[in-house]
């Protein structure tokens, strides 16, 4: 599985949506992505990629797209 | 009058982004709503953490008008049930929710909120000391309400102000919803003390929240157990927040390990971490663990608040005097509610509790007089700080899925639904997510061949524990 596939799967499973719908997801854009959902997402991402996100990154990760940007940073070294 | 706001006229009461609301403006704005309503009557307020929502609350409570505070996100069918049960005279709600009530006339509006006149013809009779109505279980939308008096609110507010030392220099941020008694108590205590509130709908997962905490020099915030789990994940201990000096926790028992971590953090940084205990039936607060004991007594709930008293009672209603002996926690104090209401007629009822509340929690007292909650007598869970009555959830499920049998159990933050019947896990899950606004990550739905029952047909919840390992 590529990193993008893995990343997509985490979003689809956390928020119970089809993989084709994940790209437009945003924090508080759907009911399930509230503060509780956000924490589930962060835990799932940390587990899937075996990383530990910084406070700023946890807060900034406010959309599917933004998350790709953050995980691509050197500290995490994930390639999309 | 509940709040003597004119004593703080020129001071800042609310801060909303860049915008400051002085106490003088708060008086003006809230009185305008009261004036549009006119006489003492019942008003539903659909709450958000916005100044307009607070204007509605202050306007009603300070002018002898009785509000019921509800979550503006409350499911529409549940809201309709409450409307039909209590038949309020007015609704104060965000403009964006107005289209659900197209039959009602807007008679006043301010700052994104509108006052709608309902069309119920039957007058509601309200007991003279009745000040405020709160739901017991915000999310299941049970029509059962807690009736609070002016004395209840005043005494509990004064007590909290005194043990937390809240003065005019304090500045809290609204990190909890105001339809929730704990969130409301933060608003009450700060307005009572002439302090300021940073009002926001932002959550701690948004940059704007922490920016506000820093730029507005917020001095305190409050959270339920789950808030503290999340704060730890957010690497809160590494954040530099010099103005923040008080963290309070209530809404369920905090994991003792986490309690200790936050207590240690607070001690090292010269901040106060105050674990508290309460219920809607006691206006908000009944107990607290003084900050200086928060590390030494980590895991404990604390002592009774000023003006209140605890007792432990055994199964035969005898008082337990021995230390470290569990019994039901009984609270006595002027903040114990008048009682419940389940229909409009009961809003006319007087005080049925007489200052005594059997909490349903099992607690024990150590030799130093500190109480620790060790279990529950009644069947309910706290899910992310919200009280979920298990019998009620079973009832809602049975009404909807008439062919199946259900049993609900679990522990805090994990609700297990056991059912007998075919492949409908997903259906049950999505139904509950919508109906009681519970996050799916807290739900486990399991199909089992039979529900364990005793000879009398009562479900044996103990035997369901084999299906989960918590």
d(CA B190, CA B187) in angstroms, rounded, equals: 5
What is the model's pLDDT at position B35?
Answer: 98
pLDDT band at B85 (very low <50, low <70, confident <90, very high): very high
Residues B239 and B370 in one domain: yes
Q: How many CA atoms lie within 13 A of B42 on its CB side?
A: 25
Name the β-bridge partners of B133: B68, B147
Task: Tell me if A36 and B226 make a contact (CB, 8 A cut-off).
Answer: yes
The strand pair at B309-313 and B303-304 is best described as: unpaired
Which of the residue ranges B89-103, B104-118, B143-157, B449-463 would you say has the lowest mean pLDDT? B449-463
Residues B233 and B273 in one domain: yes
Residues B236 and B299 in one domain: yes
Sign of the Cα pseudo-torsion (A36, A39, A41, A43, in order): negative
Q: Does B242 touch chain A (CB under 8 A)?
A: no
Does B200 fall in a domain?
yes
Number of domains present in the structure of chain B: 2
Q: Does B127 touch chain A (CB under 8 A)?
A: no
Q: How many CA atoms lie within 13 A of B113 on its CB side?
A: 26
Residues B235 and B264 in one domain: yes
Share of chain B above pLDDT 90, in %: 70
- pLDDT score of B158 more than 90: yes
Expressed in angstroms, the distance from the first to the final Cα of chain B is 48
What is the model's pLDDT at position B470?
Answer: 56
The string of DSSP letters for B108-130 reads EEETTEEEEE----SPPP--TTE
Q: What is the CATH number of the domain that holds B271?
A: 3.40.50.12780
Most confident by average pLDDT, A34-38, B170-174, B465-469: B170-174
pTM above 0.95, yes or no: no
Does B234 fall in a domain?
yes
Residues B156 and B264 in one domain: yes
Contacts of B320 (CB under 8 A, 6+ apart): B312, B313, B314, B327
Does B223 fall in a domain?
yes
A44 sits in which H/E element: helix A35-49
What is the model's pLDDT at position B140?
Answer: 59
Q: Is the separation of the CB atoms in A6 and A48 below 8 Å?
A: yes
Q: Work out the mean pLDDT of chain B and round it to a whole number.
A: 93
Residues B359 and B386 in one domain: no
Q: What is the CATH number of the domain that holds B421?
A: 3.30.300.30
Q: Can you tell me the mean pLDDT for A39-58?
A: 90
Instruction: Go through chain A and tell me how many residues it has.
Output: 80
pLDDT band at B139 (very low <50, low <70, confident <90, very high): low
Backbone φ and ψ for B201, nearest 5 degrees, come out as -95, -5
- pLDDT score of A17 more than 70: yes
User: Token pair of B277, please?
Assistant: 């205990």
Shortest distance, CA A15 to any CA of chain B (angstroms): 9
List for chain A the helix, strand, coil content (%; round to 5): 60, 0, 40
Q: Does A46 touch chain B (CB under 8 A)?
A: no
Does B303 fall in a domain?
yes
Nearest CA in chain B to A35: B205
Q: Predicted ipTM?
A: 0.72
Residues B256 and B171 in one domain: yes
What is the model's pLDDT at position B469?
Answer: 66
Q: Does B234 touch chain A (CB under 8 A)?
A: yes
The candidate with the shortest Cα–Cα distance to B146, out of B357, B379, B381, is: B357
Residues B254 and B396 in one domain: no
Q: Give the strands of the sheet with B113-117, arranged side by side.
A: B105-110, B113-117, B90-94, B42-47, B66-71, B130-135, B145-149, B339-341
Residues B247 and B395 in one domain: no
Does B177 fall in a domain?
yes
Share of chain A above pLDDT 70, in %: 100
Nearest CA in chain B to A56: B207
Number of inter-chain CB pairs under 8 A, A vs B? 45
Shortest distance, CA A72 to any CA of chain B (angstroms): 20
Look at B467 and B329; give whichever has higher pLDDT: B329
d(CA B243, CA B295) in angstroms, rounded, equals: 22
Residues B163 and B260 in one domain: yes
B52-63 pLDDT per residue, tens: 999 999 999 999
Question: Pick from A32, A55, A62: which is nearest to B235 by CB?
Answer: A55
Does B93 fall in a domain?
no
Which of the residue ranges B149-153, B172-176, B372-376 would you say has the lowest mean pLDDT? B372-376
Question: Pick from B206, B226, B239: which is nearest to A55 by CB?
Answer: B239
The superfamily (CATH) of domain A3-71 is ACP-like (1.10.1200.10)
Residues B370 and B396 in one domain: no
Where do the domains of chain A lie?
3-71
Residues B309 and B322 in one domain: yes
Contact residues, B window 405-424, toward A, CB-based 8 Å cutoff: none
Full domain range(s) for residue B393:
379-467
Q: Does B466 touch chain A (CB under 8 A)?
A: no
């Amino acid at each position: 599985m590529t990193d993008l596939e893995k990343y997509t799967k985490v979003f689809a499973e956390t928020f119970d949506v089809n993989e084709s719908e994940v790209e437009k997801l945003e924090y508080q854009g759907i009911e399930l992505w509230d503060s509780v959902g956000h924490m589930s997402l962060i835990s799932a991402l940390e587990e899937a990629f075996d990383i530990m996100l910084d406070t700023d990154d946890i807060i900034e990760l406010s959309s599917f797209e933004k998350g790709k940007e953050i995980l691509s940073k050197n500290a995490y070294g994930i390639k999309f | 009058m509940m709040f003597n706001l004119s004593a703080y006229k020129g001071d800042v009461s609310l801060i909303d982004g860049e915008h400051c609301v002085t106490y003088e403006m708060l008086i003006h704005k809230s009185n305008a709503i009261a004036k549009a309503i006119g006489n003492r009557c019942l008003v539903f307020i659909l709450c958000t953490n916005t100044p307009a929502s607070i204007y509605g609350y202050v306007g009603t409570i300070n002018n002898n008008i009785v509000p019921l505070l509800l979550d503006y996100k409350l499911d529409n069918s549940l809201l309709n049930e409450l409307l039909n049960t209590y038949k309020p005279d007015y609704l104060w709600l965000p403009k964006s929710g107005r289209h659900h009530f197209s039959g009602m006339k807007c008679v006043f509006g301010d700052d994104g909120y509108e006052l709608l006149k309902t069309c119920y013809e039957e007058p509601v009779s309200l007991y003279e000391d009745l000040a405020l109505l709160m739901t017991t279980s915000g999310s299941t939308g049970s029509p059962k309400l807690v009736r609070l008096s002016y004395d209840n609110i005043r005494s509990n507010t004064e007590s909290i102000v005194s043990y937390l030392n809240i003065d005019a220099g304090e500045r809290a941020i609204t990190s909890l919803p105001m339809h929730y008694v704990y969130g409301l108590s933060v608003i009450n205590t700060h307005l009572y003390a002439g302090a300021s509130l940073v009002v926001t709908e932002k959550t701690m997962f948004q940059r704007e929240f922490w920016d506000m905490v820093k730029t507005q020099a917020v001095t305190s915030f409050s959270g339920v157990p789950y808030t503290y789990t999340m704060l730890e994940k957010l690497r809160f201990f590494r954040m530099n927040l010099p103005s923040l000096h008080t963290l309070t926790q209530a809404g369920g028992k905090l994991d003792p390990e986490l309690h200790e971590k936050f207590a240690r953090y607070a001690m090292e940084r010269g901040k106060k971490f105050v674990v508290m205990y309460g219920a809607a039936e006691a206006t908000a607060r009944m107990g607290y663990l003084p900050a200086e004991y928060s590390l030494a007594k980590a895991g404990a709930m604390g002592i009774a608040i000023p003006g209140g008293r605890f007792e432990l009672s055994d199964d035969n209603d005898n008082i337990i005097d021995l230390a470290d002996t569990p019994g039901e926690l009984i609270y006595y104090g002027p903040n114990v509610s008048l009682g419940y209401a389940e229909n409009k007629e009961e809003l006319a009822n007087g005080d049925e509790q007489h200052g005594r509340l059997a909490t349903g929690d099992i607690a024990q007292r150590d030799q130093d007089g500190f109480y620790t909650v060790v279990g529950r007598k009644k069947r309910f869970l706290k899910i992310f700080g919200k009280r979920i009555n298990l019998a009620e959830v079973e009832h809602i499920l049975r009404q909807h899925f008439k062919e199946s049998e259900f049993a609900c159990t679990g522990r805090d933050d994990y609700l297990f639904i056991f059912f007998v019947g075919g492949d409908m896990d997903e259906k049950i899950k999505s139904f509950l997510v919508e109906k009681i606004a519970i996050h799916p990550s807290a739900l486990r739905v399991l199909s089992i061949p039979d529900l364990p029952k005793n000879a009398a047909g009562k479900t044996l919840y103990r035997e369901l524990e084999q299906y989960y390992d918590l």
